Amino acid sequence: MPVWQPEDVREADEAVLCAATTDIRANLFSTPIAAVEHWAGRNPQATCLSAEALELSYEQVSQLTLVLAAEFKARGAEPGDRVVLELENGLGVVLSFLALNRLGAAAVIVSPRLSDFERQKIVSHALPIAIITAITAPSGDLSQAILTTNVLTVLGLVWSDDVAAGRLDRERHPLAANVAAMIYTTGTTGEPKGVMLTHQNLMFTGFVSGKLRGLGDADRVLTALPLSHAFGLSAVLCSVLTQGASLELMATFSAVGVLARLRDGAITGFLGVPAMYTQLISPDIQRALSYPFLRFLFSGGAPLDPTLKKTVEAYFGLPLHNGYGLTESGPTIAQTRLYAPLSDTSVGFVIPGVDYVIVGASTSEEGIGELKVRGPNIMAGYYRNKAQTDQVLIDGWLATGDLARINASGALEIVGRIKELIIKNGFNVYPPEVEAALLKLPEIIQAAVIGQAVPGNERIIAFVQTSASALDLGWINQQLRLTLAGYKLLDEIRVLDQLPAAPSGKILKHRLADFL
């Protein structure tokens, strides 16, 4: 594998971006809706969005969001207000987000699959003026809805302003300036935190990630990533909008459905989490011999298993690219490059315009330390939570809480989280390394490794989903010993029918303590 030097990566990136790293901000649209307006003027009939068996051009999206914004304004929406969008992927969530964007209001996008308890915690904290939910699928002629100023109803959406907090409460807790969206994340704490993402955060991530994927106005991108997560919102939707491409949204992931669209839908790119790719290569699913339009596949949101990467690449005949980020970083921090596919499962190189340091790496035997980053992608802070904001944002640097190193190829490698680091018998054990070894075993479908404190030490416990009728700890450790040191072997293995996960597919490790 070739070794990349930072200067080589910078020069190659600038060639792809057609801009110097120092000039990136000058090339950004001011807001997501500004990108729509640009392409509506330049290429009005080009397809912008496909969902729910309907297709909208850039001109139609511009017109619909103009009318929808007027509806929202008539209902009392003002700049700086929050509106909860409790919506699945579809026309409604995209058009509502862009209409709020026109008004300078912030969309609080949440998954309708949350429990009532989870939903209420977010709504109580966000202090929205209203909640938008779906009651039916879009019906009627959307082009006629533009004339009747009844877009909300035609989209099958309902606006509810029956929320407990009054406007005075909201005015006491204003948003940071220029916030376009709030995404709630539990992180490793289990408590939801409202990440304030600005227009610049979304536009920077959209521009850079889109350019590095080679997106252009002829591309048609498919995803089932929920827009209630930053990966789907900025790295997919906003990347498509900045480049004038077309986005096809699936409300829920279906491996059969994705493969059918890759075959018949002139799809040029697909983005998903590793769990989606696992289903795409299932032996129970029939795949086409070729996908003539497909030119890139991207994975993110969770660690990528080496065996999964190789199998996906063999099936599709394309590199499976990887990336890394946090909701707090908009989310993209690093990604592999189309011009430099990697055979390992590192997360590639830090994106241009973002600075990073690995604190403590010089004193670590393995070159491992905490990753800190700064740049135009970094959040404005946590809403109504200055104490936690000050813990992670110091002098413009975001402390990711992730342990990282630069590997032999010059790429960034994430080895675990500081809070998840297990210290056993005085040795550092990084859960992703053990999880990767477990996932190489054909019996293991999913794995999550955590530490359990005992007097003077920690135990290593693996929670797994398996295809086997039973698992023997001794046999598992015998297999792991082929690639792992003895101190990294399991003390216990527990089988669950399903590991707790977010709608994005990310395993929620903080919930595993409930099973101890």
Full DSSP string of 136-190: S---S-HHHHHHHT-HHHHTTEEEE---SS-HHHHHHSPPPTTEEEEEEE-TTTS
pLDDT value of position 51: 95
Q: Are 233 and 209 in contact (CB under 8 A)?
A: no
| Tokens representing residue 301 in the block | 């949101």
The candidate with the shortest Cα–Cα distance to 341, out of 214, 240, 225, 440, is: 214
Q: Tell me, yes or no, whether 109 lies in a domain.
A: yes
Count Cβ neighbours within 10 Å for each residue of 145-177 and write b for 16 or more, e otherwise: bbeeeebbbbbbbebeeebebeeeebeeeebbe
Q: Tell me, yes or no, whether 64 lies in a domain.
A: yes
Residue 344 burial (C-beta neighbours within 10 Å; 0-12, 13-18, 19+): middle
Would you list the DSSP string of 191-222?
Answer: S-EEEEEEHHHHHHHHHHHHHHTT--TT-EEE
| CB within 8 Å of 446: residues ≥ 6 apart | 275, 439, 464, 465, 499, 507
Q: How far apart are CA 214 and CA 17, in angstroms?
A: 9
Q: Tell me, yes or no, whether 359 lies in a domain.
A: no
pLDDT value of position 188: 46
| CB within 8 Å of 105: residues ≥ 6 apart | 72, 77, 78, 79, 80, 81, 82, 83
Bridge partners of 157, per DSSP, are 134
pLDDT value of position 3: 84
Beta 246-249 vs 332-335: how paired, if at all?
unpaired
The candidate with the shortest Cα–Cα distance to 176, out of 328, 390, 388, 381, is: 381
Cis geometry, peptide bond prior to residue 331 (ω within 30 degrees of 0):
yes
Q: Tell me, yes or no, whether 66 lies in a domain.
A: yes
**Residue 179: φ, ψ to 5°:** -80, 125
Q: Tell me, yes or no, whether 446 lies in a domain.
A: yes
Q: Tell me, yes or no, whether 281 lies in a domain.
A: no
Q: Are 403 and 369 in contact (CB under 8 A)?
A: yes
Q: How far apart are CA 171 and CA 112, in angstroms?
A: 27
pLDDT value of position 253: 92
Given the structure tokens 């660690």, which residue do they identify?
Answer: 303
Q: Tell me, yes or no, whether 351 lies in a domain.
A: no
Write down how long the chain is: 516
Q: How many CA atoms lie within 13 A of 423 on its CB side?
A: 6
Q: Which of 174, 206, 228 delimits the end of a domain?
A: 174
Q: Which of 104, 139, 174 delimits the end of a domain?
A: 174
Q: Which of 141, 174, 207 delimits the end of a domain?
A: 174
> Could you report the average pLDDT of every consecutive run of 10 residues in the chain (516 residues)?
86 96 96 98 97 94 96 95 96 98 97 84 94 89 74 93 81 94 73 92 98 96 94 97 98 94 94 90 86 95 87 95 96 96 94 95 82 98 96 96 92 88 81 90 93 84 92 94 89 93 78 84
Q: Which domain holds residue 76?
A: 57-174
pLDDT value of position 186: 64
Q: Tell me, yes or no, whether 100 lies in a domain.
A: yes
Beta strands in 25-160 (DSSP E): 47-51, 54-57, 82-86, 106-110, 130-134, 157-160
pLDDT value of position 187: 52
> Helix, strand or coil for residue 387?
helix
| CB within 8 Å of 286: residues ≥ 6 apart | none
pLDDT value of position 504: 66
Q: How far apart are CA 250 and CA 181, in angstroms?
A: 21
Amino acid making up residue 334:
A
The candidate with the shortest Cα–Cα distance to 347, out of 379, 364, 328, 325, is: 325
CATH number at residue 475: 3.30.300.30
pLDDT value of position 118: 81
CATH number at residue 167: 3.40.50.980
Residue 480 DSSP code: H
Residue 232 DSSP code: I
Rounded alpha-carbon distances, angstroms, from residue 335 to 325, 338, 413, 467, 468: 9, 10, 11, 32, 35
How many domains, in total, are found in the chain?
Answer: 2
pLDDT value of position 246: 98
User: Residue 495 CA to chain centroid, in angstroms?
Assistant: 27
> Helix, strand or coil for residue 325?
strand
pLDDT value of position 516: 80
